[in-house]
Amino acid sequence: EWYKRDGIDEIERTMLPEWFNSSAPHRTPETLLKSREKIIEMSEALANRNVTNAMIRRTVLGDAGSLHRLRSFLVRWGVIN
């Protein structure tokens, strides 16, 4: 399995390049880890309910587009929802 709670996998670097290319000061590998883990915590707390983009926007700091892509990535790989 690629997911590591305290690390970033090459899959994430490939699929979410905006967090690694210095295109914005608020998107860094560190903020990716924090955002990803917060979204996963939300999913675990909600048990069988979906974490929506609106929920994420109210709870996780960051721009809407990047957070939407991060959520989609986590759903696609079966980490949440």
d(CA 76, CA 66): 15
What pLDDT does 75 receive? 97
**Tell me, what CATH number does 19's domain have?**
1.10.10.10
Domain interval for residue 60: 10-76
Tell me how many domains the chain contains: 1
What pLDDT does 1 receive? 81
Looking at the domain assignment, is residue 58 inside a domain? yes
What pLDDT does 81 receive? 86
Question: For residue 42, what are the contacts with CB-CB under 8 A and spacing of at least 6?
Answer: 51, 55, 56, 59
For 15-71, how does the pLDDT look when each residue is reduced to its tens digit (9 = 90+)? 999 999 999 999 999 999 999 999 999 999 998 799 999 999 999 999 999 999 999
pTM for the predicted model, two decimal places: 0.93
Looking at the domain assignment, is residue 4 inside a domain? no
Which residue pairs from 38-41 have beta carbons closer than 8 angstroms and sit at least 24 positions apart in sequence?
39/67, 39/70, 39/71, 39/74, 39/80, 40/74, 40/79, 40/80
Looking at the domain assignment, is residue 3 inside a domain? no
